[in-house]
Amino acid sequence: MYARLTSAQVKKENIEKFTEIYNTSVVPAAKAQEGYRGSYVLVDHDTGKGIAITLWESKEDALANEESRYYQEQLAKFVTLFTQAPVRELYEVTVMA
């Protein structure tokens, strides 16, 4: 399994909007993607830092949806909520308890 982490600085006044968009738009779109296994969103309300973690069955699945423009389309939904460009990282999940 692989995890894609996207960290972003969100304007504090937009944290609720960020969460709403993720729940109502990103999650349904993600569920239609091959190999999608789940998501977590972590937010620090004091700093506005947010981390979205999506889980993928394989590295190929995680990379395929980026190549299909799915990832870019989802990220575009948040562009006005960020204070700086998000950072994307991909990790292999080696322990899941």
Digit-coded pLDDT (tens) for 9-61: 999 999 999 999 999 999 999 999 999 999 999 999 999 999 999 999 999 99
pLDDT at residue 67 in the model? 83
Integer Rg of the chain from CA = 13
Q: Which run of H or E residues covers position 19?
A: helix 15-21
pLDDT at residue 13 in the model? 93
pLDDT at residue 71 in the model? 83
pLDDT at residue 61 in the model? 95
Q: 0.75 exceeded by the pTM?
A: yes
Question: What does the alpha-carbon distance between residue 77 and residue 39 come to, in Å, rounded to a whole number?
Answer: 17
Q: What residue type is assigned to position 52 of the chain?
A: A
Instruction: Identify the band that residue 69 occupies on the pLDDT scale cut at 50, 70 and 90.
Output: confident
- Please determine, for residue 92, whether its predicted confidence score (pLDDT) is greater than 90: yes
CATH code, residues 2-92: 3.30.70.100
Q: What is the 3-state secondary structure (H, E, C) of 23-56?
A: HHHHHHHHHCCCCEEEEEEEECCCCCEEEEEEEE
